[in-house]
Amino acid sequence: MTKAFGEGPDRVLALNDVSVEIGENEFFTLLGPSGCGKTTLLRLIAGFDHPTAGTILLNGEDISGLPPFKRPVNTVFQNYALFPHMTVAGNIGFGLEMLGRSKPDVASTVDEMLRLVRMEALKNRRTSQISGGQQQRVALARALAPQPKVLLLDEPLSALDLKLRKEMQIELKRLQNETGITFIFVTHDQEEALTMSDRIAVMSNGSILQVGSPREIYDHPSDRFVANFIGDTNLMEADVVSAANGTARLRLPSGVEVDADVPDGMRPEGRVTAVVRPEHAALAGDAGAAMLSGTLETVVYFGTDTHYHVRLPDGGLFTVRAQNARGHAEARQQGSPVGIHLSERSVQVLRD
Ligand code: ATP
């Protein structure tokens, strides 16, 4: 699907030939930086906007031509968009009344939704008189009430403080599990995407770069953008010694050879960029022989773990993350030479 805004020199390609298949009952996340096209994709699915080219299929049926209210899709917006003068129950039931549901039907669905989001006690409170977290629950209940097949959530937690945000992440997971509705969730927060999603699509500049489970995306990022956007990364240039299906033998700058994973369909040759996560590396001496060596530049204590920043001979900085054992005093001196060991199968070749 493609979506362009404007004409001539002002033309913006918000989505550039994006194609994605989302499963039933899936918690699917669109993750990417501001301006990458996440909201545009959500608006096209909702029907608030129309694609320049391409179609949207729901269970094999083309819904691209349907107006928003005829699609079995509902949206939870970032700002909740509740009616402040109405009660909690009134807000949840409003859409159902508009659909022409009978009064007893509306009342019983509203009660069911109040139970689902654990807001029974505040049923008759006006939404201007409840907290931000409670408003969020009402917005969710209202969107779930007509039992859509797909619920679209556009950065729904961004207005909440960190503690409430964490609580609502768990709550959203529970709601998705209990209702079995497909959730398409938009965020630019990589941690949120990793903890909540069944699968993630990483977007940049109007394109989807990689789709996979949180573990696949984290352990096997396909290119530099995905590797850098998700988690901490160490990038290294390395020479390909040999390559077979899905794997390659690389010579690291130190001359040491390691086996590395390769993105699907890529045939690496010559010089490539490879990535290693800091927690998959250890200072040598703790865990076997050194594969890289350098000078320990800084040691940063984080409570649960410690980050060691090592300056390599080529000038690059390599981060090693080690879990802290209780009572273990730091023996490494900043400025001293250190070796780095990489765990088995921790190196991943990138496409670019
Ligand atoms: P954010 O996280 O900031 O909301 P996003 O990933 O949701 O960003 P979009 O809102 O989808 O990004 O925007 C994608 C691109 O399309 C941006 O360059 C944006 O400026 C442009 N764009 C979006 N809507 C319009 C519009 N109505 N007219 C012109 N350009 C638009």
Instruction: Tell me how far apart the terminal alpha carbons of the chain are, to the nearest angstrom.
Output: 25
Residue nearest to atom 17 of ligand 1 (CA): 35
Q: Please give the radius of gyration of the chain, using alpha carbons only, rounded to the nearest integer.
A: 25
Q: Which of 1, 2, 3, 5 to mutate to test the pocket of ligand 1 (most atoms within 8 A of CB)?
A: 5
Residue nearest to atom 11 of ligand 1 (CA): 37
Per-residue pLDDT tens listing for the chain (352 residues): 999 999 889 899 999 999 999 999 999 999 999 999 999 999 999 999 999 999 999 999 999 999 998 999 999 987 778 998 999 999 999 999 998 999 999 999 999 999 988 899 999 999 999 988 899 899 999 999 999 999 999 998 887 888 888 988 998 999 999 999 999 999 999 999 999 999 999 999 999 999 999 999 999 999 999 999 998 899 999 999 999 988 999 999 889 999 999 998 899 999 999 999 999 999 986 545 789 999 999 999 888 999 999 999 989 899 999 998 877 666 778 899 999 999 988 999 999 7
Compute, in angstroms, the gap from residue 70 CA to the centroid of ligand 1: 25
Which segments of the chain are extended strands (E)? 3-5, 12-15, 27-31, 57-58, 61-62, 73-76, 150-154, 182-187, 199-204, 207-212, 234-244, 247-251, 257-261, 271-276, 281-283, 292-301, 305-311, 317-323, 337-342, 347-349
pTM: 0.89
Compute, in angstroms, the gap from residue 233 CA to the centroid of ligand 1: 28
Compute, in angstroms, the gap from residue 39 CA to the centroid of ligand 1: 7
- Give yes or no for residue 14 CB within 6 A of ligand 1: yes
Q: Give me the interface pTM, i.e. the ipTM.
A: 0.95
- Give yes or no for residue 77 CB within 6 A of ligand 1: no
Compute, in angstroms, the gap from residue 18 CA to the centroid of ligand 1: 15
